[in-house]
């Protein structure tokens, strides 16, 4: 038997924070790739600390629903899972290349735990960002005539926070699909407040590299970009700002294709997912197109 455990931050203040985690778990559960699919949270129940005790399978794949490598993936999650012998050096990562490490947990020593890198640094996340642009514009071929901004939090406390943003912006730029691609940040230069200064394109899609919609994606970023003076008044998509049409996509983690990245992480660690990757890609594409219509 093999089990998948998706771990995420969660929130005591934002009840929608855990919604994408549950949605992606449901998607993966429906395709039957794992005997069990569980979720665990840092700030909600069920907790990361207890989740392994709820699993019956002896092979467990733990995938962090986080954007970058850092404090949570390197310290909090391994500690809460009681991973025996955990050493971040075993990932041998440059801040983007953490793949997986196989350990046991001290409180459930009969289980083999494959602890994976975060979804946000996996190359498959690039496709999710592009899919997010397709979803918000309602155009599966969006690209020509459009600019694309990939937005991250950015923080001097964790240089890896910006690395993930730049990594995916570079990969999308190399596709030559969009006329312009720019990485922007909330807390460092270049800032999302000045989004129109960085684009010549009349149409600009803005995709925040966040797992869930919350205060930053629903309040701060829309107001900072000038979509609205007060997020409570709402705004149109697209909204014209300084002569540019801004297509604001909301958190990338709410995109259905995110389930594909979770599966990719587990498969890279050795999980037998069969044809689940292809099925998830097709199902999420069909669902999103139906939603657009």
Q: What is the pLDDT of residue 292?
A: 46
Integer Cα distance of 215 and 22 in angstroms: 20
Q: Tell me the C-alpha to C-alpha distance, in Å, between residue 289 and each of 131, 132, 208, 259, 283.
A: 11, 12, 21, 17, 10
Radius of gyration of the chain (CA): 19
- Report CA torsion sign: 188, 135, 273, 169: negative
Given a contact cutoff of 8 angstroms between Cβ atoms, the answer to whether 192 and 186 are in contact is yes
Q: Which domains does the chain have, with CATH numbers?
A: 2-121+256-283 (3.40.50.1400), 124-254 (3.40.50.1400)
pLDDT at 157: 58
Scored b (16 or more CB within 10 A) or e, 64-95 reads bbbbbbbebbbebbbebbbbeebeeeebebeb
Q: Which residues pair with 181 in a beta bridge?
A: 148
pLDDT of residue 129: 97
- Return the pLDDT at 102: 97
Q: Give the predicted TM-score (pTM) of the model.
A: 0.93
> Which is nearest to 192 in space by CA: 212, 220, 228?
220
Distance CA 220, CA 218 (A): 6
Distance CA 246, CA 202 (A): 9
Residue 293 has what pLDDT? 35
pLDDT along the chain (293 residues), means of 10: 96 87 96 97 95 97 95 94 95 92 95 97 96 95 97 75 92 98 92 96 97 90 95 94 96 95 97 94 70 43
């Amino acid at each position: 038997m093999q089990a998948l455990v998706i771990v995420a931050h969660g929130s005591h203040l934002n009840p929608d924070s855990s919604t994408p985690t549950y949605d992606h778990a449901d998607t993966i559960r429906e395709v039957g790739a794992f005997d069990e699919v569980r979720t665990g949270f840092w700030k909600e129940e069920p907790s990361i600390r207890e989740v392994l005790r709820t699993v019956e399978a002896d092979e467990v794949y733990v995938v962090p629903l986080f954007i970058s490598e850092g404090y949570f993936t390197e310290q909090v999650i391994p500690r809460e899972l009681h991973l025996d012998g955990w050493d971040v050096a075993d990932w041998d990562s440059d801040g983007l290349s953490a793949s997986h490490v196989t350990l046991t947990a001290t409180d459930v020593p009969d289980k083999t735990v494959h602890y994976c890198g975060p979804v946000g640094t996996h190359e498959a996340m690039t496709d999710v960002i592009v899919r997010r642009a397709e979803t918000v514009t309602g155009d599966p071929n969006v690209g020509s005539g459009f600019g694309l901004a990939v937005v991250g939090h950015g923080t001097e406390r964790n240089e890896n926070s910006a690395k993930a943003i730049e990594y995916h912006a570079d990969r999308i730029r190399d596709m030559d699909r969009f006329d312009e691609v720019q990485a922007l940040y909330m807390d460092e230069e270049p800032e999302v407040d000045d989004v129109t200064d960085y684009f010549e394109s009349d149409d600009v899609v803005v995709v925040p590299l966040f797992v869930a919609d919350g205060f930053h994606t629903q309040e701060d970023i829309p107001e900072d970009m000038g979509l609205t003076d007060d997020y409570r008044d709402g705004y149109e998509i697209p909204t014209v700002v300084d002569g540019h049409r801004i297509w604001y996509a909301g958190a990338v983690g709410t995109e259905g294709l995110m389930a594909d990245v979770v599966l990719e992480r587990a498969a890279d660690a050795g999980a037998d997912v069969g044809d689940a990757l292809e099925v998830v890609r097709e199902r999420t594409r069909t669902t999103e197109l139906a939603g657009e219509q």
